[in-house]
Chains A and B, each alone.
Chain A
Amino acid sequence: MTTTPAERLTAVGIGLKPVHVPRILTEGVPLDFFEVHAENYMVPGGPHPRHLDRIRERFALSIHGVGLSIGGTGPLDPAHLDRLDALVRRFEPQWFSEHLAWSSHDGRFYNDLLPLPYDRASLDRVCDHVDQVQEHLGRRLLLENPSTYVALAASTLDEGSFLAEVARRTGCGLLLDVNNAYVSGINHGRDPWDLISALPPAAVGEIHLAGFAEDRDGAGDRLLIDTHGAPVDDAVWALYRRTLAHLGPRPTLIERDQAIPPLETLVAEAERARSALEAAAFGAGEAP
């Protein structure tokens, strides 16, 4: 049996930006997959999904949802589940992922990944939602750890235990966003490694890397903002290499949604991830 490039654990990809599509199609790029936000392709027709068809002919895809509100208290939106189903049927992505967060409440959509209390009631609800998504789409979901700026007094579980338990109960996979682990670690005065080491290694199916912006909180301590608007920080690269040494290689994506640089810049960051992945795959220690 042969494996496609994206099935290899050392696969690398970047977020697909419409501005880069013509060059990707005419010149090609040394990447294994592209990731798109599901909601951007939920349109009746037109050039946008047609271009994605052409990308899909040559590359694997990761479809990344930002609007399902899995961590919300209300029921999942059945219309949105149907839209996701249509999307995964048309584009047959290698992975479908969503977030441990909420974005809708009481019929309003806030377009942000908002924090939920980590307690037993939330755990039951998130597991029900994940079950429902996996059943509706007939495929495994990867659930991503969020960046958070506040903690909720109602939480009784740490984030790593919460995610590990969701994966154990539902059989879902996890998307480990190493930048989010770092951002949340700094923002809550915790060691990011506490989260990463709590996750069951076999469940981690994909890794995200991105850049953050730096601010200060009311006490003058570092407050990191997950902007996806900067290169991956050196501290996150270091945490990524440590993660690979612990988990082994995992398909890795460079995310950039703001201040989009030239295609070469993103490809160079993906190549840096590939070096680290290959080093981890061959047990050759840390990549430069």
Chain B
Amino acid sequence: MSRAETVLGDFASALLDPGRPPPTGLVTWNGSDPAVRFAVYRNTVAVSLVEALADTFPVTRELVGAPFFEAMARFFVAAEPPRSPVLTEYGDGFPDFIAGFGPAHALPYLPDLARLELARVRAYNAPDAEPLGTADFAGQLADPDRLPGTRVTLHPSAAVLVSAHAVVSLWAAHQGEGRIEEVDPCRPESALVLRHGDDVLVLGIPRGAAAFLAALAAGTPLGEAAEVAACAEPGFDLIETLALLIRHGGIAAWHPPGDPQQ
């Protein structure tokens, strides 16, 4: 190992571990304690990565309060530092980390709420695709015999989240929609997260619609996906769910039976 590798390796190891002494080989012009100066680097690394998480998980932070969030995020940063300089991708493991973080267990909905926030950021940065508009469907829907075998490509930003908790209502309450005191966090809710224009939508959807969309995303044709949905929720409404998708630009491509891209 070269000298520089040793110097940088020691420096790197001490950055995320406040229990370690500062690396050797640091000098100061005035003979002052290098630990005080090394602390500037330690602080910048931790604070900037915690801020990156706070940008992705603002409602999670509001729900637990800034001091709790910062403490929890610092544990995560030390356990799972970024592997890439592209920090918009950082935090994929944070919801699972929260689920395993003992002090957060009093808020059992917190991991799914964090998953919802992560889905929003992923949707915001997802690849571009021109969604099909209402006019594109007029001909397709006129031939109902072809519908069951049709496969649908959802917009690249679309993600479905199924939760045992009221994560959509909790999230909405933090956007000024509805009163948080009136939310029963133990009510199961599902969400469709979708970018439409410049905005990321969080749409509360019934359990059957969530099962339907998950099946479509997996490449299941409409007819079979509708059966899956009806099993999940007997009241599943196919037309209403398709209308919701079309209205919010959720369909990128439509492949009837015989379509070469099927």
Contact = CB atoms under 8 A, between A and B. Distances in A.
Interface of A: 39-40, 42-48, 50, 66-69, 72-73, 77, 80, 83, 102-112, 114, 116-117, 119, 121-122, 125, 149-154, 187-190, 215, 217-219, 221, 223, 225
A95 B151 CA distance: 46
Given A102-B8, A122-B4, A225-B40, A111 B27 contact: no
Given A45-B127, A111-B48, A189-B30, A67 B86 contact: yes
Contact of A114 (B11, B27, B83): B11
A52 to B, nearest CB: 13
B2 interface: yes
B29 A43 contact: no
B44 interface: yes
A46 B29 contact: no
15 contacts: A44-B156, A77-B85, A108-B83, A111-B85, A111-B87, A112-B48, A114-B11, A119-B4, A121-B2, A125-B4, A150-B37, A151-B27, A151-B29, A152-B27, A219-B28
By size class, the interface of chain B is: 35 or more
A69 B8 CA distance: 12
Contacts of B36: 217-218, 223
A154 B87 contact: no
A117 B48 contact: no
Given A45-B128, A110-B45, A219-B30, A73 B83 contact: no
A44 B48 CA distance: 23
A13 B124 CA distance: 28
Nearest first, the 3 A-B pairs at minimum CB distance are A67-B85, A219-B32, A218-B33
Contact of B32 (A40, A69, A104, A217): A217
A105 B8 contact: yes
Contact of A112 (B37, B44, B86, B126): B44
Interface of B: 2-5, 7-9, 11-12, 15-16, 25-38, 40-41, 44-45, 48-49, 52, 81-88, 124-128, 156-157, 195, 198
Most chain A CB within 10 A, of B31, B35, B40, is at B40
Which of B34, B38, B44, B126 lies at the interface centre, i.e. has the most chain A CB atoms within 10 A of its CB?
Answer: B44
Contacts of B15: 110, 112, 114
B7 A117 contact: yes
Given A153-B25, A219-B31, A45 B126 contact: yes
Given A110-B15, A112-B45, A39 B25 contact: no
Contacts of B26: 150-153
A107 B80 CA distance: 12
A221 B27 CA distance: 15
B150 to A, nearest CB: 26
A39 B40 CA distance: 23
A217 B37 contact: yes
Given A43-B125, A45-B156, A111-B48, A150 B87 contact: no
A135 B49 CA distance: 31
Given A73-B2, A73-B4, A154-B3, A107 B125 contact: no
Given A47-B198, A217-B28, 4 more contacts: A111-B45, A111-B82, A114-B8, A149-B41
Contacts of A48: 124-125
Contact of A223 (B2, B37, B81): B37
B4 A150 contact: no
Contacts of B157: 46
A50 B36 CA distance: 43
A107 B82 CA distance: 9
Contacts of A122: 4
A189 B15 CA distance: 25
